[in-house]
Amino acid sequence: MALTMRQFLINPTGKGSASVARRDRIRADMEARYKKLYKSARRKFIVRPYIDKTTDNLYFWFKIPSEDYYKEDLVYDVIIHFIPPANYNDSTPLDKFTINVFSNSPNFIFTYAYLFNSDDMIINWLKPKLPEKSLKDKPVTRNPDMSYGFEKSIYFSLLYLSDHPELLKSRKLNKLKFNKKQILSSIKTGYQKLEENKQARKKHLESEKNSLKNKTKRIIDQTQRNFSTSKLTSQTHTSKSNVKPKTKNTSNTTSVRKPKKKISTTRKVSTLRRK
């Protein structure tokens, strides 16, 4: 089986698959997750384009951050190999090339590696980086229908290429010299990535635990401060209510004498006359 980049992005499950009816929802979900991850961990997305001048084959080596553990710097190696069609030229777009792939993400290893290997779609010289069991044993639990599906690390890599058309527009674009041995020596094995995944998960859980602990401590401290403030306010109010009101001090008040009644002159004269 051969798939182009366009076919993989639109419908890697193939015609007649039971997943076709819901593929639009899956694609929308994958695109939304890619955009969210790219926004959060843009600097962790890395791509290196190579050209093998002996065959004119192109290779794009990606570092794709983990959705769950990108903060712990966990990234997966993905390589997309573009194989030119017959009678191609420099203007032939890359979405006309068929692709072979490699990924050391656990999802690819345990769910899709067997299927891609069966259809000769794994980059041959990178197979030693995958567990032998993943290439020979059917994934009866994880992928019983043997469907290609939308493998996340590869899908995100192709979405990255779609969002950066400058990498696809011209076959004359500057590319690194292809060195198979150098790439092979730099790629982590599937087992190594599984261990890194385990350590990243442990680190993530420890970070969440500490974050929860610090959050709880902040809440307790704030509650105690609020209680202390409330208690102080209550005590101040009680203290003020127990203070006796001041009474007027009249000891130093100057008394005002009442004026003597004046004897009417008219009355005196009248008395004298009667005498």
Task: Note the pLDDT tens digit of each residue in 157-192.
Answer: 999 999 988 887 655 556 788 899 999 999 999 999
Residue 87 lies in a domain: yes
Q: For position 19, what pLDDT does the model report?
A: 53
Q: For position 260, what pLDDT does the model report?
A: 56
Task: Note the pLDDT tens digit of each residue in 72-95.
Answer: 999 999 999 999 888 888 778 887
Q: For position 243, what pLDDT does the model report?
A: 55
pLDDT band at residue 99 under the 50/70/90 scheme: very high
Q: What is the mean pLDDT of the chain?
A: 82
Percentage of residues of the chain with pLDDT beyond 90: 47
* Backbone dihedral angles phi then psi of residue 234, each to the nearest 5 degrees: -65, -45
Q: What is the DSSP string of 119-142?
A: TT-B-GGGGGGS-HHHHHS--TTT
Q: Is the pLDDT of residue 109 over 60?
A: yes
- Total structural domains within the chain: 1
Task: Note the pLDDT tens digit of each residue in 209-219.
Answer: 887 777 777 78
- The whole model's pTM is what? 0.75
Q: For position 80, what pLDDT does the model report?
A: 96
Residue 117 lies in a domain: yes
- Give the domain range for residue 162: 3-203
Distance CA 263, CA 260 (A): 9
Between residues 126 and 223, the one the model is more confident about? 126
Q: For position 31, what pLDDT does the model report?
A: 95
Q: For position 269, what pLDDT does the model report?
A: 43
pLDDT band at residue 274 under the 50/70/90 scheme: very low
Residue 215 lies in a domain: no
Residue 253 lies in a domain: no
Residue 268 lies in a domain: no
Residue 275 lies in a domain: no
Residue 96 lies in a domain: yes
Percentage of residues of the chain with pLDDT beyond 70: 77
Let me know: does 172 contact 94? Beta carbons within 8 Å.
no
Long-range contacts of 40-46 (CB under 8 A, 24+ apart): 40/70, 41/65, 41/70, 44/70, 44/73, 44/75, 45/160, 46/75
Q: Is the pLDDT of residue 137 over 80?
A: yes
Section 198-221 average pLDDT: 83
pLDDT band at residue 146 under the 50/70/90 scheme: confident
Q: For position 261, what pLDDT does the model report?
A: 53
pLDDT band at residue 229 under the 50/70/90 scheme: confident
Question: What SS3 class is residue 146?
Answer: coil
Residue 219 lies in a domain: no
Burial of 12 from C-beta contacts in 10 A (0-12 / 13-18 / 19+): buried
